[in-house]
Amino acid sequence: MSTDVHRPSPARYDRTPYRRVGRSGVLLPPISLGFWQNFGENRDPFTLRTIVRRAFDLGVNHFDLANNYGPPPGSAETQVGRILAQDFRDHRDELVISTKAGYRMWDGPFGDGGSRKYLLNSLDQSLDRLGLEYVDIFYHHREDPETPLEETMGALAHAVRSGKALYVGISNYSPERTRQAARILAGLGTPLLIHQPSYSMFNRHIENGLLDVVSELGVGLAAFSPLQQGLLTNRYLSGVPQSSRAAGSSSSLSEQQVQDEDYQARVRGLSQIAHDRGQSLAQLALAWALRHRQVSTALVGASSVTQLEQNIATLENLEITDEELLRIDEFAVDGTARR
């Protein structure tokens, strides 16, 4: 890997319409770079470094991680930590780095869930892998019905008091549990900043209450999987590429899903709408997810600089007319391609 230090573009903030997160002072780019499945040990470090550099030059200053991102778990944080040390040591104050804990990370009774012991130990390990003194946002990654919510939220609040996180968030929480979590955190003097749910044209569950709850609470939303892990792209219109997730060992996509006749009909209909707008299907899907004022950012992975640039080009055409929304609703059906 090249040892040259990146010199960011002086124009990196000129064209990005940053969005406020709820009623906080935090601003995020509409499209943020996520590291869920694209930054493991099997990826070329030079390619990864090039993607992150280019993202920052395009105004993407929010990098989203979790303790178990890879593969293997932890490797995404390690990869990003190296890049931060090489290129962004002098730009830490410009970056919003988030990480999470909640899914299984190590063996034994304290390797997942929502206990204080697991969350705070995991945060320490994440900071070590990232080479940072603090993260900007620390999330609890999922609901844990076996741990009192007071204990979980108390751990998040402690992370802020200890200086290891600036803000806290939750992910994959129901509307009612979101309301409860926000109430507990407010009592501890640590407001809930943001909720990270999945949201896409084929996964519309947040429209059934969560959008209203976060609006009432003044909490932002970071939408993950807005492209439904590739299902909302043109990638599968002509079969299953050998390099795709559906052709591999991913547990979240299968050839059966992408060959499903209902999915194929819906994605072709959406592709035509995108074409009429002068966009790719992926760009339409991102613009659609960002249409809600509550959505502070959409988290998108990238396997190449070209893919990253195409996603960010979405910002050139975010407006969707009422007529287009009606057309989209014919095809954007919750649960499509879930089998």
**Separation of CA 169 from chain center:** 12
Interacting residues of 158 by C-beta distance below 8 A, sequence separation 6+: 116, 120
Number of C-beta neighbours around residue 208 at 10 A: 11
pLDDT of residue 38: 83
Produce one character per residue of 110-121: b if its CB has 16 or more CB atoms within 10 Å, e if not.
eebbbbeebbbb
For the whole model, what pTM was predicted? Answer: 0.94
Instruction: Find, among 337, 333, 336, 331, the residue nearest to 254 by Cα.
Output: 337
User: pLDDT for 29-45, tens place per residue?
Assistant: 999 999 998 899 999 99
Number of C-beta neighbours around residue 239 at 10 A: 13
How far is it, in rounded angstroms, from Cα 206 to Cα 289? 11
Q: Is the CB of residue 152 less than 8 Å from the CB of residue 140?
A: yes
How far is it, in rounded angstroms, from Cα 19 to Cα 169? 17
Let me know how long the chain is: 339
- What is the rounded end-to-end Cα distance, in angstroms, of the chain? 42
pLDDT band, residue 339 (cuts 50/70/90):
very low
User: pLDDT for 131-187, tens place per residue?
Assistant: 999 999 999 999 999 999 999 999 999 999 999 999 999 999 999 999 999 999 999
**What is the CATH code for 20-196?**
3.20.20.100
- Summarize the confidence of residues 186-195 as an average pLDDT: 98
pLDDT of residue 241: 52
Instruction: Find, among 290, 156, 148, 321, the residue nearest to 227 by Cα.
Output: 290
Distances (CA, A) of 35 to 95, 116, 252, 289, 299: 15, 25, 16, 19, 9
pLDDT of residue 247: 46
- Summarize the confidence of residues 311-315 as an average pLDDT: 98
Composition of the chain by helix, strand, coil, percent to 5: 40, 15, 45
- Summarize the confidence of residues 64-70 as an average pLDDT: 97
User: pLDDT for 196-220, tens place per residue?
Assistant: 999 999 999 999 999 999 999 999 9
Query: Burial level of 330, CB count in 10 A (0-12/13-18/19+)?
Result: exposed
Q: ∠ at Cα 45 (44, 50), nearest 5°?
A: 105
Instruction: Find, among 1, 30, 4, the residue nearest to 16 by Cα.
Output: 30
Q: What is the pLDDT of the chain when averaged over all its residues?
A: 94
Q: Report domain extents, the chain.
A: 20-196
Place of tokens 């659609």: 288
User: pLDDT for 216-262, tens place per residue?
Assistant: 999 999 999 999 999 999 888 865 555 554 444 444 556 777 878 99
